[in-house]
């Protein structure tokens, strides 16, 4: 949550509720927006780390609002994040550890594990496809986020087939 908030603040100063709305408007239902409490806790920590600064701003007929802005240190951290490649494929996969180790210990049958995981993935896929079907007015970012999740999930399902071929 830290770095996406810094990225939003790089565009312009904002208060917590504006940041929550910006996340929701950018990613829509494809990305579950954090609750407002989590955003303010994160902003407080970013302030303690010197990555943002804040000030109270007067409002007509409303209480003051705290507006946050990026500091030079925050801009540096954000630039470092943007410039770094994101983690690639996961080699340490928890399901794969279960698939290999549980049958060795007599705790589970490999085919049962594969089928259980496959059912789980199909349930997620069904939810994503329903979400994708209702995204006519969604932002390109939201549509791409869901499409990417579907493609990753399809790759995971293909990999389960390979596991079944190899182990069963």
Q: Which tokens belong to 83?
A: 């410039």
- Is the domain of 73 the same as that of 6? yes
Where among 19, 52, 83 does a domain terminate? 83
Mean pLDDT (the chain, rounded) = 91
Residues 6 or more apart whose Cβ sits within 8 Å of residue 154: 125
Which range of residues forms the domain containing residue 39? 2-83
> Does the CA dihedral 127-132-137-143 come out positive or negative?
positive
pLDDT tens digits, 114-136 = 999 999 999 999 999 998 888 88
CA neighbours closer than 13 Å in the CB half-sphere of residue 71? 13
Q: Which uninterrupted H or E stretch holds 55?
A: strand 52-59
CATH of the domain at 77: 1.10.10.10
Q: Is the pTM of this model over 0.95?
A: no
pLDDT tens digits, 4-34 = 999 999 999 999 999 999 988 888 777 777 8
Q: Does 114 map to a domain?
A: yes
């Amino acid at each position: 949550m830290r770095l996406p908030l810094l990225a939003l603040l790089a565009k312009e100063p904002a208060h917590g509720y504006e940041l929550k709305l910006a996340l929701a408007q950018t990613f829509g239902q494809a990305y579950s927006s954090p609750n407002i409490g989590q955003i303010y806790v994160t902003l407080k920590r970013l302030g303690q780390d010197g990555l943002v600064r804040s000030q109270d701003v007067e409002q007509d007929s409303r209480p003051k609002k705290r507006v946050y802005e990026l500091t030079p240190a925050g801009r540096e951290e954000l630039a470092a994040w943007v410039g770094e490649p994101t983690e690639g494929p996961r080699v340490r996969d928890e399901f794969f550890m279960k698939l290999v180790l549980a049958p060795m210990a007599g705790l589970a049958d490999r085919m049962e594990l594969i089928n259980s995981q496959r059912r789980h993935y199909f349930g997620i896929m069904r939810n994503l496809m329903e979400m994708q079907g209702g995204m006519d007015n969604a932002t390109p970012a939201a549509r791409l986020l869901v499409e990417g999740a579907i493609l990753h999930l399809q790759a995971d399902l293909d990999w389960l087939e390979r596991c079944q071929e190899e182990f069963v």
